[in-house]
Structure 1
Amino acid sequence: MKHIIKKASLEDLDQTAELFNLYRIFYRQESDLEKGKAFLKERFLNSESDIFLAMADGKAVGFVQLYKLFHYTKLQKQWLLSDLFVHPDFRGQGLSVALIDRSKQWCEETGACGLMLETEKTNDIGNSLYPRCGFEYDGLHNYYHWWK
């Protein structure tokens, strides 16, 4: 199947929100299309993330969302590959790799030093995909979070 990767804009909000909702369900969150749509709309309006869509026959079938960070040792901008999702009906066609490749190209275009990501230990697909795409596992750091 022929696909293209395009940078998403506010015009793509509805299709992006549908995929984002499926992505959140994949991570055991309750379906909430409207709340997810509002979240994405805010990211678009405030230029707080960059989203690329995998398009097949004019329909969005996958996405990657990147957030800008800064690396303290490299003293450069880097991108957090926060969200990556391909609709189950379109998996196995290289779309995840294409979205990651476009993210790497975005690093070049924006003068960033690279990409970082984290995924659940139980995400067998991601934990197999990322090393194949040139990501190195960082066993030196423990990642923690704090929620208010």
Structure 2
Amino acid sequence: MKFKIRKASLEDIQQLGQLFDEYRVFYRQISHTARSTDFIKQRLLNNEADIFIATSEDKAIGFVQLYKLFHYIKLEKQWLLSDLYVQPAHRGKGVSLALIQRSKEWCIETGACGLMLETEKTNDISNTLYPRCGFILDQGHNYYHWWK
């Protein structure tokens, strides 16, 4: 299967919105394509995220969304690999690997010190994929969150 990876733009918003909705459903959220599309649109309009899209025959099949952060120890910019999704029919064909590789290249292009990410402990596919791509599991920290 041939596919391409490129930086997403507002022209991709409808396809990205659909993919982002599928991604949310994968994480047991109720489907809401319109809100998902608007969410992605706002990230692009406000320059709050950089998104790379995988396409095959001009159809979106996957994406990765990166948010800029800053590393307090390295005193440098870093990227949060927030969202990575490939449609089930296209998994196992190197699309995720290519999206991760493009994210690493983006770090180099933007002068960032690296990527960080998190995934559910039960996400066996991702927990196998990320170490294969050179990510190191940080077992020394607990990650907490607070939501209003």
Distance 1:56 1:37 in 2: 20
Superposition deviation, residue 76 in structure 1: 0.2
SS for the counterpart of 1:130 is: helix
Which residues of 2 match residues 1-148 of structure 1 at below 5 A?
Answer: 1-148=1-148
After TM superposition, the score normalised by the length of structure 1 is: 0.99
After TM superposition, the score normalised by the length of structure 2 is: 0.99
Distance 2:92 2:59 in 1: 17
Superposition deviation, residue 28 in structure 1: 0.2
**Aligned structure 1 segments of 4 or more residues deviating by more than 4 angstroms:** none
SS for the counterpart of 2:52 is: strand
SS for the counterpart of 2:146 is: coil
Extract unaligned runs of 5+ from structure 2.
none
Distance 2:8 2:21 in 1: 16
Q: Deviations over 1:90-130 (max 9, x none)?
A: 01100000000000000000000000000000100000000
SS for the counterpart of 1:84 is: strand
Distance 2:85 2:40 in 1: 15
Superposition deviation, residue 33 in structure 1: 0.2
Q: Deviations over 1:17-48 (max 9, x none)?
A: 11000000000000000001111111011000
Superposition deviation, residue 14 in structure 1: 0.3
How many percent of aligned residue pairs carry the same amino acid? 68
Aligned pair count?
Answer: 148
Distance 1:49 1:111 in 2: 16
SS for the counterpart of 1:135 is: coil
Quote the RMSD (CA, aligned, Å): 0.4
Extract unaligned runs of 5+ from structure 1.
none
